[in-house]
Structure formats: structure tokens, C-alpha cells
Amino acid sequence: MSKYIFITGGVVSSLGKGISGASIGKLLQLRGFKVNMIKFDPYINIDPGTMNPYQHGEVFVTADGAESDLDLGTYERFLDVYTSKANTNTAGDIYKTVINRERRGDYDGATVQVIPHITDEIKKRFAALKNKCDISIIEIGGTVGDIEGLPFMEAARQFQLENKKEDIFSIHVTLVPYIAGAHELKTKPTQHSVNKLREIGISPDMIICRTEYHLDESLKRKISLFCNVKKECVIEAMDAPSIYFIPEAFYDQKVDSLIIEELNMKTKKKFDKTWFTKIKSLGEFNKTVKVAVVGKYADLKDAYKSIDESLNIAATELKAKAEIHYLGAEDKDLVRKLKDFDAILVPGGFGNRGVEGKIKAITYARKNKIPFLGICLGMQCSVIEASRNLAKLKNANSTEFDETTKYPVIKILEEQKNVSYRGGTMRLGNYKAEIKKDALAHNLYKSIAIEERHRHRYEMNPEFIDILEKVGLSVTAYHKGVLPEIVEIKDHPFFLGVQFHPEFASRPMKAHPIFKGFLSAALKVSK
Ligand code: GLN
């Protein structure tokens, strides 16, 4: 059996198609089905790796090293699964595959066209994971009517034609705006959006309406009639205090049973509501922990989506609420602002901008014994900080920011240049590391062998390890005994820098040990 659920969006972008898809996936998973989610992004970039987080939010890295859309993080967290390269596709990558094939002469002299060559490649990718699951949930990025999305919509239409009706369920996510002056919710944008979709040849089986207010029965009936969708398949999606409450809101509207029925499937097991109860109980807390995230993209939370999620997940397990503030690393007043916080986190990043501010924040955390977590660039900054201020290596730096520095404490290692890593010189995806016994990290992981996701080019320079260890910054984990993975300062409540990205591995009810340890230390010193 291979069944498919297609999710398209209309009216405006950012409607949370990913969250809707993941919530439906969760319900189907709780019914015993094996679900996979595949994202299709219609832009020309090969992957979002090179895109500015302001445009696209965080780059989520899969265990097998794909640089992908942040929706894959949502899928992983909701479904507690590991996605891979096959779960993320872009128009750029699809065109590249077709063009490479054309260059090799594989098309035998044919004129290579959007239909059928591009659409064939898209359809192949729709079905890529069919043998690994019962249901593939396919999310097409963008909004219906976008020029670049057309080949994807066309492929979805053809896919319907070539498969049995009972194997495909189509969901359209739209917005039902509230017009304050008229005190009214408006269905017209939804009607237009569904019309557009039907022009392409796709008739949705379900409409998920994002709305600020309840949809009454007459409104649902209106949408049902105008859009040719059964009334019970007009679903209300109100803003929720937590995205993890959405599966239950959908369950209450029978979203899963409606889909199962339409797809002619048999529920594999009795619905177990424990997940809903557990998720709800996580919202109970009696203390607050204030965390400063000092980064380049202070005004865009999505740029640090997985970090935000990881902190929230860890805090709830500690029965606390994480109050997370994003502080701009270039803010002149940064150090003064840090005085209000229980913990300081410096996240990953690329490029020079804000680096000196991040280093100042680390000096502050180190000297004032504020729990500190440095991730990737944040870890590299902590090495620079200790080199300059503890080891007195004047102007020590990463060669990413100063190619001619006398003390290149972070650099691209020769060994690394010779290794053919996935993604060229970038270390991407899962790499193993071995932690030293009795290190803080060992205490947190309760294990020596770990495997975590990476996304970086530069490494801590092993030539400086001895000097830094003498002044208190020790390397407590290595990859293959050579590449430093974790640094720590002992005489401190919590000072940890990690070359990898633990934020990609957090799951609700399964907080990552590093985030849990970090916030637990913060709660101890909490003001
Ligand atoms: N810019 C640094 C590097 O390439 C850190 C990357 C990151 O933080 N993801 O090594």
C-alpha cells in the first residue's frame, strides 16, 4: 500500500503548511501508520544552504548531511523520526538532475521540456519514499498561483491521473481573514484560491482554514459549497498556544478519520491519547529561566527555530518556562543588557558581522559565571575569547575573519582539505565523537560515544590545544581523536562549546541533554 497526502497553500505564505502536515502525520502515526513527509520548495537554489536566514529562516541539517528547509525540523520533532536527503527537494535540484541527464545524452536527442521531463522527475520524487512508509505526506512550498510552483502543481495533477483516486488525498491550507470593521470572517480569498487550484486540475478533498476566530456552521457550509468540499472536511485551524496542541485540535474535528476513510485504509490500532495528555502537562511550570541568545539575526526568531524549540523543550522538562530573548550581537548596549539573564547562548553563524559582540558576551558569561552554551560559531568564538583573554594571544582569531592573524586558533585544517566531505569542504551531517571520561559533557550525555550533526568549514586548530588547556579551556571530545568537538571550562557552573548542532536532535519529551544541562545550571543560578 502506498498512499499520498498532498498539501498546498493558498492566499498568503507562512500559513503553517508544515505544521498542519506534521500534525496530520502525528495523528496518522498515533493510529499506527508509518508516515514520511517530503518537502518540495519551488525556488531555484539547489538547497537553502546558501540562503540568508532572513529570507528563509534556519537551515535545518539532516543526519545524512542535507541542508534543508526548517519544516524538516518540524517533521522530525512532531514525528520523532530522522529525515534525509530524500525528504527535501527544490526546483533547482530537480532542474539540475534533468540538465545533467541531458548533458550525458540520456534523453536520446529529445527536446527537454518542463512537461514531461521536469514533471517526471518531480513525480519520481513524490514516490521516493513509498516503500519506506504507509503514507507519504507531500508538502508543496509557496502559494497556489506562484509561477515557479506551477510545474509542481502540474506534476501533482498528473500524479492523480496516474494513481488510483483512493490513494491520493489533497489538502489545501488557506486563510480566512477577519475584517474588524465588518466584524466578519471572509471566505472569498479561500474561494479564489481553490478556484485557482481547480483551474490547474486539482480538487482539494479537505480545506484547512487558518483563522483567528471560530468558523461557525454557516461559514463552513459556504466554504464547502463554493469549494466543492464536504462540510466536515472544512477544518478550522486557530492559532494555538503551542504548535504541539494542533494535532489534538485536528483530532477533535476528525481530520485523521476523514483522511483514513477517504484513502480507504484500515486503522492499525486504537487511538492512544497519551501523547495529547503528555504534551498538555508540559505546559505546567512554576519557575522561569531567562536566556539570552546573542546572534546576528536578533529580530527573526525563525533563524534560530531549532534552538528556540530545544530551549523550550528542555525548560518544560525542568518544569520551567524559558523566556528567550534574541539580542543583536552588534548592539552597543549588549553587555549591559546581559545582566538580566540567567544563561547566555551564542549560536552558529557565518561571516564577520557581530563576532566581536559575541566574544564580549562570552567574556561576560565566563567572568560572571553565567551558564554559557556556544554552538558551532559560538564554540569557535569561545576558543577565540579564551585565546585572547586567558592565554593572552593578542588578536587571536579565526582565519574566517582574519586570514593573516598571528594566532589562527580556528582555521580550515589541512587534513580537512584533503578529505572529501559531503558538501565540499563543509563538514555536514552526522559525525561521531568520543567524550573524555568525567568531562561535563560526559556527565550530560552519560555516554562516551556520541554522534551529532555538523555544518561548518572551520575547526579549532589543534596546535593551540595545549596552550588553552593550561589556562583552563579544555577539549573534552574529539572526532577520530583529532578534530576538537567540545570545549569546556571547569571552574564555572556551566561553560560548554560544541562544534556541532545539538539543537537538531531535540524532540518534545526527549530534551537534548546539553540543553537540559544548560538550563538546569541556569535555574540554579537564576536571579
Ligand atoms: N562559520 C563557521 C564555520 O564555517 C561556523 C559555522 C556555523 O556556525 N554553522 O566553521
Q: Whose CA is nearest to atom 5 of ligand 1?
A: 377
When pLDDT is cut at 50, 70 and 90, the band that residue 294 belongs to is very high
User: What are 208-260's pLDDT values in tens digits?
Assistant: 999 999 999 999 999 999 999 999 999 999 988 889 999 999 999 999 999 99
pLDDT above 90 covers what percent of the chain?
Answer: 84
Average pLDDT, the chain: 93
Is the confidence at residue 23, as pLDDT, over 80?
A: yes
> Three-state DSSP class for 498?
strand
pLDDT value of position 172:
97
Question: For 235, phi and psi rounded to 5 degrees?
Answer: -110, 135
Q: Is 151 helix (H, G, I), strand (E, B) or coil?
A: helix
Q: Of the candidates 383, 352, 340, which has an alpha carbon nearest to the alpha carbon of residue 522?
A: 340
pLDDT value of position 241: 86
pLDDT band at 527; cut points 50, 70, 90:
low
Please tell me the chain's helix, strand, coil percentages from 3-state DSSP, rounded to the nearest 5: 40, 25, 35
Residue 244 Cβ < 6 Å to ligand 1:
no
Hey, what CATH topology would domain 282-525 get? Rossmann fold (3.40.50)
- 447 touches 437 (CB < 8 A): no
Residue numbers annotated as active site: 376, 501, 503
Whether 458 is in the pocket of ligand 1, judged by its Cβ within 6 Å, is yes
CA of 69 to the centre of ligand 1 (A): 18
Q: What's 349's DSSP letter?
A: -
pLDDT of residue 417: 63
Please, which pLDDT band fits residue 422 given cuts at 50, 70 and 90?
very low
- Residue ranges in 326-421 assigned as alpha helix (H): 334-338, 355-367, 377-389, 414-418
User: Cα–Cα distance between 175 and 178 in angstroms, integer?
Assistant: 9
| Residue 447, number of CB atoms within 10 A of its CB | 11
Q: In the structure, what pLDDT confidence band is assigned to residue 421 with cuts at 50, 70 and 90?
A: very low
Distance CA 335, CA 358 (A): 10
**Ligand 1 atom nearest 410 alpha carbon:** 10
For the chain, give every residue range classified as CATH 3.40.50.880.
282-525
Please, where in the chain does CATH 3.40.50.300 lie? 3-278
Cell of 475: 577539549
- Considering only CA atoms, which of 376, 329, 354 is closest in space to residue 514? 376
Whole-number pLDDT of residue 209: 97
Residue 352, pLDDT above cutoff 80: yes
Q: Is the CB of 348 under 6 A from ligand 1?
A: yes
Distance of CA 369 from the midpoint of ligand 1 (Å)? 25
Q: Which CATH number fits domain 3-278: 3.40.50.300, 3.30.70.360, 1.10.3720.10, 3.30.499.10?
A: 3.40.50.300
376 lines ligand 1 (CB under 6 A): yes
Tell me the average pLDDT across 388-402.
96
Contact in structure between 49 and 56 (CB atoms under 8 Å): no
Residue environment code for 38-70, b if the CB has 16+ CB neighbours within 10 A, otherwise e: bbbbbbebebbbeeebeebbbbbbbbbbbbbbb
Radius of gyration (C-alpha) of the chain in whole angstroms: 25
Span from the CA of 376 to the centroid of ligand 1 (angstroms)? 6
Q: Residues near 294 by Cβ (< 8 Å), separated by ≥ 6?
A: 327, 329, 334, 338, 344, 345, 346, 347, 357, 358, 361
Average pLDDT over residues 33-42: 96
Ligand 1 atom at shortest distance from the alpha carbon of 455: 9
For residue 445, the Cα-to-chain-centroid distance in whole angstroms is 22
pTM beyond 0.75, yes or no: yes
Cα(17) to centroid of ligand 1, in Å?
30
> How much is the pLDDT for 284?
77
Question: Is 122 exposed, middle or buried (CB count within 10 Å of its CB: 0-12, 13-18, 19+)?
Answer: buried
Q: What are the two backbone dihedrals, phi and then psi, of residue 238, each rounded to the nearest 5 degrees?
A: -85, 155
* Cβ-based neighbours of 49, under 8 Å, separated by 6 or more: 59, 67, 423
Examine the pLDDT at 419 and tell me if it is beyond 70.
no
Q: List pLDDT tens digits, range 188-208.
A: 999 999 999 999 999 999 999
Q: What is the pLDDT of residues 468-518, one digit of tens each?
A: 999 999 999 999 998 999 999 999 999 999 999 999 999 999 999 999 999
With beta carbons less than 8 A apart as the criterion, state whether 371 and 381 touch.
no
Residue nearest to atom 6 of ligand 1 (CA): 456
Judging by DSSP bridges, how do beta strands 67-68 and 459-460 pair with one another? unpaired
Whole-number pLDDT of residue 426: 85
Residue 54: what pLDDT? 78
